[in-house]
Structure 1
């Protein structure tokens, strides 16, 4: 057994310091704790939009709500379809299904784990209202091909950027690519307030409609309860926004560390027989590395899960990768496609493989030292070698 005593004490997550404390006190003492009367949410939206190259950002309660709200603004509802990658967290499909739209899973690329553009193109029908690429673990989907497809098919993109805070495609941030994007600030994300989300919009009209719908259809200055649209209460509170302003201020420095660590860890993992790390696309010029992902091709799902348990016992914050969305009971409860699990699985062989053989490590591991990257690889090599 490889001995790495003391080397696997990775940085904690979430991280905070006096900046968050000062923000919370600032929000407390302003005397208004909701966004309509306070300043923190407005300021966070302005700062987050500018950071991501977008003219507009709207802060909301969760990343799932961010997707749902964005889809609603884009005209998604009963009788429509949304194309989603089969390999993703369930929120990507459920956001569409909660609106009564059918989520249509398509396969992903086996190197980057992002949506297969050819598969997405083949799934377009007259009912398709959106294509939702997920930037898996911070690795951009092929936005060149997706933007071309969006124009030719006249179907807008909704970028699920829950893993992609600060990511860049050909030097452009997520909000500077001409399409709507949704972010998450859940506890494990690259910046967090425990929960929270945001949507960036390229157009003012979309932003204004989203504001109405996220605030029960009520305009900012309304005093007569003249609700203009249907909606819900997806408003972020002032305390969460104050924390997120602090989190945003240190995001660049954290990304810089992870971008230094992943090439080292990836190269070490690639040297382990049977281990294949997530690939990269050179057009993704900045990857924040939400997860350190790798595959063990040919392993069974049961055995993969056992290996994850052993990695955790050995000190690694390891996780089994997402299940293909159609292999969950939740997917079939609302607005499911009119086909079987097997028929979807047959056209999603890469998602099937990833469901069984993919493992990921929390991004706090990539905030560790170079010596810790070697220690991670040693543990993975030892555990996999014993399987």
Structure 2
């Protein structure tokens, strides 16, 4: 492929910040208490984040992976248990379970939405299953009607991996109004960020109190005698990160509005390119924050897909190859892997196998650009695909 004369679109920088973040950092600095016990920024952020998502309780933690690990621990996951995860997801979804000594059980995903297939999840449940973890891929909420029924019928709780889904809705309900625990990430590329960070939404006070204890080494908030009530670790978020996140939360809605306007334009343009299939949607997911703009080129194969990504990057697009199926990484097999072989898992996860090799995603700042930049983006994709 040769370089295109088409000029690269002008995408906004990420992360975005303003005097709001500076004010938050100074506020945290000048309060004189820089950790959450004694400071006020983390407490304030938790209240604001919970309120924004319609949840009763939020617990801020060190990162999104720790958010998943902590949530799973609160739900009773540990050695000898199993957690059902989508085969197509970032590795943290499976590693959070494996770090607790549990077995991560990968199941297939829908070929259009890339979200966990409820029927595949149902088939994977055993008496050892302690949690089902739908991942809201690229911000598109998974089929929570079917998954909530599965949870109710089986007695296995859901843990929403909402690392991509800040501000998302399902049939008018926010993530915190859907009755299950949800975990978020604030890593540098996420929809709101402090470089790192995470949060867990809890639907009731009992689970929240367990989470608080475990995220603070098992120590109650008012303890002065080192009476650690449970096992745990130090997953506490610092005050400076919380000050930044409070500012990030304030601009999230307007950014989602922009991406919601831009994605239909880009989707239509991508769908018109021969061989390109953009990520599908679900009308019940009535607010999608669009963490990624994803599309498939079915049949392209991993090597040519990777060449396509390289070409898009060379032409100025923030393009990436899709996640590798979790069982196609060495890390997955180190601990907490199921009894099946790679080939056996691949056979029962054909859609995850295909998506792993033929999918490209564009960073969400693409969808914060102008409509003309969106059109230029699609034109660059069309040029690059035609040149394969």
Q: Normalising to structure 2: TM-score of the pair? A: 0.99
What is the aligned partner in structure 2 of residue 49 from structure 1? 50
Give the secondary structure class of the aligned counterpart of 1:293.
strand
What is the aligned partner in structure 2 of residue 63 from structure 1? 64
Q: In the alignment, does 2:352 pair up with 1:386?
A: no
Asked whether the 8 Å contact 2:191–2:252 carries over to 1, the reply is yes
Write the deviation string for residues 97-134 of structure 1: whole angstroms up to 9, x where unpaired: 00000000000000000000000000000000000000
What is the aligned partner in structure 1 of residue 151 from structure 2? 150
Pairwise CA distance, 1:3: 3.4
What is the aligned partner in structure 2 of residue 264 from structure 1? 265
Q: How many residues align?
A: 386
What is the aligned partner in structure 1 of residue 35 from structure 2? 34
**Map of 1:69-148 to 2, 5 A cutoff?**
69-148=70-149
What is the aligned partner in structure 1 of residue 252 from structure 2? 251
What is the aligned partner in structure 2 of residue 228 from structure 1? 229
What is the aligned partner in structure 2 of residue 168 from structure 1? 169
Asked whether the 8 Å contact 2:161–2:184 carries over to 1, the reply is yes
Asked whether the 8 Å contact 1:57–1:198 carries over to 2, the reply is yes
Give the secondary structure class of the aligned counterpart of 2:286.
strand
What is the aligned partner in structure 2 of residue 241 from structure 1? 242
What is the aligned partner in structure 1 of residue 349 from structure 2? 348
Write the deviation string for residues 282-336 of structure 1: whole angstroms up to 9, x where unpaired: 0000000000000000011011001100100000000000000000000000111
Where do 5+ consecutive residues of structure 2 fail to align? none
Give the secondary structure class of the aligned counterpart of 1:272.
coil
Pairwise CA distance, 1:339: 1.0
CA RMSD in angstroms comes to: 0.6
Distance 1:275 1:338 in 2: 36
Asked whether the 8 Å contact 2:83–2:131 carries over to 1, the reply is yes
**Map of 1:167-316 to 2, 5 A cutoff?**
167-316=168-317
What is the aligned partner in structure 2 of residue 10 from structure 1? 11
Give the secondary structure class of the aligned counterpart of 2:300.
coil
What is the aligned partner in structure 1 of residue 370 from structure 2? 369
What is the aligned partner in structure 2 of residue 20 from structure 1? 21
Where do 5+ consecutive residues of structure 1 fail to align? none
Asked whether the 8 Å contact 2:58–2:202 carries over to 1, the reply is yes
Pairwise CA distance, 1:4: 3.0
